A and B are shown apart, each in its own frame.
Chain A
Amino acid sequence: MEVTPVGADKFAGTSIENCYQCGKCTAGCPLADQMDVTPNQLFRLVQLGEVEKAARCGAIWLCVSCFTCTGRCPQSVECVEIIDALREYAAEHDCAPPDLQRIILFQKAFLDNIRRNGRINELELIRDFKTKGFLQDLSLPLLMKDALLAPKLMQRGKFHLTSEKAKDRELVGRIFARCTGTHAEGATS
């Protein structure tokens, strides 16, 4: 997938400059105690221009975009948007920590799936993700993990063997074009 190039200058002039390190983002974050660096430290790194260092942190992949930090920030820093931008940077520059590469693989598979079908097809998603994951590090456990869930999901009608597709997939294509860098086209259309 194509991503817009993100670098230190991308953050210049954004709300990141408002951050005065009060730590309220970390205080409210439901995952902060699982993170290698806390959200406020992440924002400090970005302020210092250490975007690459920030993008290498595992923390950005733990963020569930609950927006508690953004909602409570006294300085109106757009915390989640900044973490999103860091994830884009990490994906593009391939700098996520090795043990978290699979998260990127999953997200890419997820997006490819939507791009193709206009909606999610679970079976296709899992096939794509597991194949790519296996090819990456030849991990057998990955292939087999969650396999026992399949019958249950089938029982509940969560698996569709034939892939369902959205009607207007051209529209989906245009949304993707707009989000992945061909801004000029998107703006004029």
Chain B
Amino acid sequence: MARIGVFICWCGENIARTVDVKRATEEVEQIPGVRFAIDYKYMCSDPGQTMVRDKIIAERLQGLVIASCSPHMHMKTFRAAAKAAGLNPYLVEMANIREHCSWVHQNREEATAKAVELIRLAVGKVIQDKPLDAIKVPLTKRALVIGAGVAGIQASLDIAEAGHEVVLVEREPSIGGKMAGLSETFPTLDCSQCILTPRMVETGQHPNIKLYTWSEIESVDGSVGNFTVTIRKKARYIDMSKCTGCGECWNKCPMSKTLNDFDYGLSKRKAIYLAFPQAVPARPVIDKNACTKLKTGKCGICAKVCAAGAINYEDQDEIVTEQVGAIVVATGYKLYSIGQEQDNEKYTGYGEYGYGKYPDVIDALQFERLSSASGPTGGEIRRPSDGAVPKSVVFIACVGSRDPAKGVSYCSKICCMYTAKHTMLYKHKVHEGTAHVFYMDIRAGGKNYDEFVRRAIEKDGAKYYRGRVSKITEENGKLIVRAADTLAGVPVTIEADMVVLASAMLPSTGATELAQKLKVGYDEYGFLSESHPKLRPVETNSAGVFICGACHGPKDIPEAVAQASAAAGKVQVMFARNELTRDPEIAKINEQNCAACYACVRTCPYNAIEKAEIRDRQGNLVKMTARVNPGLCMGCGTCVAVCPSKSADIDGFSESQIYEMIKNL
């Protein structure tokens, strides 16, 4: 007869409120094979675990059942306790009588009966458990960082400084992300480029960082510790090894009609261009949709003026593969598109604000460029339509945010702060001008944040009105902004020279497709999901994949940087070991029985089963078989379901165990 111990937890009131723990204990003791059953208020606490360890030794237990919460919560805890008492940790089973029972039922009688049944199942299973050993998997100590904005740069530098190689992939021609285009940053008003560009240069020159700009992730195979990443290096038409970044090519290029995306369309650029003056790498790229040579075969001026001979019109996309052990995703954000043209049918845009129709209605990132010293106006606030200095500027918060009818229901978190900053930047440059702000609530939680907003109002004289703007029209060169001051209870109409819309933050284009390649969850808006909102904020449910920055949700720079360092820290924790251990509950093929039909090879979602040969000592082929690669198998059980000869089984979750559980019901 087996010697099984059952430990029933009250979980404070969580279980004991609905399940009669005392009665359940008495009933469970009657189950054949159960040596004893015992209840305790908090089994996971230190005294609880001590009791488990003591009982294992005193009763010479062959297996134990912990009836408590979900195994997701405490399986590790109790396996560790068993191991400490000298019992194989895989001889521990949990009966989930909290999430699956007490939390979802009201009737005490029925809930108690169900708890007993759940424990009976677990006893049936644990009797059939066999001691297992954790699987050791080799680990590639290289990390991939996707996205080189401030979060990606921070994560890369942290990992590189710890002595590990980093592969940094950025789809734009330069690293730097959104932050490289900002003017000054709240709440200190320090210049964004002044603090970011040294970090960019450091990233570009770091011996441990391998930089792929103008590149995108094609596919990701493998699993934690051993990912194979395929990267598409888009044709740049520049030989990076020859180019010196002298600038002759883009100075001489005759095509200058393309809207500059770094200035969000506020300026024009050449067909061959440097993303921005501080770009890293400081190498140009040819826009194949704008270049006459690439479109019609005529021109070729850049190749003629290039002394280094670095121009290559025959350049093709190149596919490269990299082996890495961990992945950090830092793909960032984009702004909600305010105009009526939307790439997502969920959003309708704000026709009433006339964005796209009136040139002087701009979004917040465009205003950042207008007030940036490296921007299209050299840092002078001049409106796009006629270059005049606007004497009255209206700033509108919550455009697209907190608007389930037209945009997204969440708060974009940073708009209150940067709108206050915008009013300051404007007032510092246009002293006689007036800044009007329409807001719904001012959300300025953060160190020195509320003081910053008050400064905008009290010292710099920004006029704040609580109310949403309904419509913007144009009359005689003025933008007429119709709104209401809900605090005074009166309609307000303002004649403005320029309007700045604080548009909602959305995950950047392609984030969901990337998430699917990485098997990372995402929410209805496409923000990537963390594993646990409080305790595992940078981990994902895909082991070895970490997230940081605005790809996870709206976030300001300090938060994105903190999260990036946290993700880098998690990677370093992983890389501190020489190999990874994994739970051994994976598939096993009975190779003698296997008929080599390979139904499992075809259906395995992880490509973890391969065709293998069994040979005798002389090397003669005895038979063919399927074989599981323990490094790749995730224990999903698909092979068990499809195997016609019943040769596949899962260790620790075998078919005989499941039959035993059903029999015990």
Interface residues of A (CB under 8 A from B): 20-29, 32-33, 37-38, 40-41, 68, 72-76
Q: Which residue in A29, A40, A68, A75 is a CB contact (below 8 Å) of B486?
A: A40
Q: A27-B482, A33-B491, A38-B484 are in contact. Are A76 and B466 (CB under 8 A)?
A: no
Question: CB-nearest residue of chain B relative to A77?
Answer: B405
Q: Which chain A residues lie closer than 8 Å to B469 at the CB level? A: 24, 27
Would B484 and A27 count as touching, CB distance under 8 A? yes
Considering the complex, which residues of chain B in the window 381-426 have a beta carbon less than 8 Å from any beta carbon of chain A?
A: 398, 402-407
Q: A32-B484, A37-B489, A38-B490 are in contact. Are A26 and B402 (CB under 8 A)?
A: no
B482 near A22 with CB under 8 A, answer no
A23 B466 Cβ-Cβ under 8 A: yes
**Interface size classification for chain B:** 20 to 34
- Report the minimum CB–CB distance from A29 to chain B (whole Å): 7
Q: Beyond A26-B467, A27-B484, A68-B470, is A20–B440 a contact (Cβ under 8 Å)?
A: yes
Mark B residues whose CB is within 8 Å of A: 352, 398, 402-407, 440, 466-471, 482-486, 489-492
By the criterion CB–CB under 8 Å, are A24 and B489 in contact? no
Q: Are A32 and B406 in contact (CB under 8 A)?
A: no
Contact B489 A27 (CB under 8 A): no
When A and B form their complex, which 6 residue pairs have the shortest distance between CB atoms, in order from nearest? A28-B470, A23-B467, A27-B470, A74-B403, A26-B484, A24-B468
| Shortest beta-carbon distance from A103 to chain B in Å | 22
Contact B489 A22 (CB under 8 A): no
State which of A24, A74, A76 has its C-beta within 8 Å of the C-beta of B467. Answer: A24
**Residues on the B chain within 8 Å of A37, using CB:** 489
Instruction: Indicate which residue in B404, B467, B470, B489 contacts A72 across the interface (CB closer than 8 Å).
Output: B470
B469 to A, closest residue via Cβ = A27
Chain B residues near A28: list those with CB within 8 A. 352, 470-471, 482
Mostly, the B contact residues are loop
Question: A28-B482, A40-B484, A74-B406 are contacts. A23–B468 as well, Cβ < 8 Å?
Answer: yes
- Provide the residues of chain A in CB contact with B398, threshold 8 Å: 22
| Residues of A contacting B407 in the complex (Cβ-Cβ under 8 angstroms) | 74
Whether A22 and B490, one on each chain, are in contact in the complex, defined by CB atoms closer than 8 angstroms, is no
Report B-chain residues with C-beta under 8 Å of the C-beta of A22.
398, 440, 467-468, 486
Asked whether, in the complex, the Cβ of A38 is within 8 Å of the Cβ of B489, the reply is yes
Interchain Cβ contacts under 8 Å between A and B, 24 examples: A21-B486, A23-B466, A23-B468, A24-B470, A26-B484, A27-B467, A27-B469, A27-B482, A27-B483, A28-B352, A28-B470, A38-B490, A40-B484, A40-B486, A41-B486, A41-B489, A68-B470, A72-B352, A74-B403, A74-B405, A74-B406, A75-B404, A75-B405, A76-B404
A33 cross-chain contacts in B, Cβ below 8 A: 490-491
List the B side residues contacting A73 at CB < 8 Å: 405
Residue of A nearest to B439 (CB): A22
Nearest chain-A residue to B483 (Cβ)? Answer: A27
Which residues of chain A have C-beta atoms less than 8 A from B484's C-beta? 23-24, 26-27, 32, 38, 40
Chain A nearest CB, measured from B483 CB (Å): 4
Q: When the two chains form the complex, which single residue of B402, B403, B468 contacts A27, counting CB atoms closer than 8 Å?
A: B468
Q: In the complex, which residue of chain B has the Cβ closest to the Cβ of A69? A: B470
Min distance, Cβ A69 to any Cβ of chain B, angstroms: 8
Residues of B within 8 A of A20 (CB): 402, 440
Q: Is the CB of A74 within 8 A of B471?
A: no
Closest residue on chain B to residue A38 by CB atoms: B489
What CA separation (Å) do A32 and B470 show in the bound complex? 12
Distance in angstroms between the alpha carbons of A23 and B490 in the assembled complex: 10
Nearest chain B CB to A178 CB, angstrom units: 30
Chain B residues whose CB sits within 8 angstroms of the CB of A68 once the complex forms: 470
Q: Once bound together, how far apart are the Cα atoms of A33 and B352, in whole Å?
A: 20
Complex: chain A residue closest to B407, CB-CB: A74
Measured between alpha carbons, how far is A37 from B488 in the docked complex, in Å?
A: 11
B467 surroundings in chain A (CB, below 8 A): 22-24, 26-27
Question: Cα distance A162–B491 when bound, in Å?
Answer: 47
Give Cα A26–Cα B470 distance, bound, in whole angstroms. 8
Q: When chains A and B are docked, how far (Å) is the Cα of A46 from the Cα of B382?
A: 45
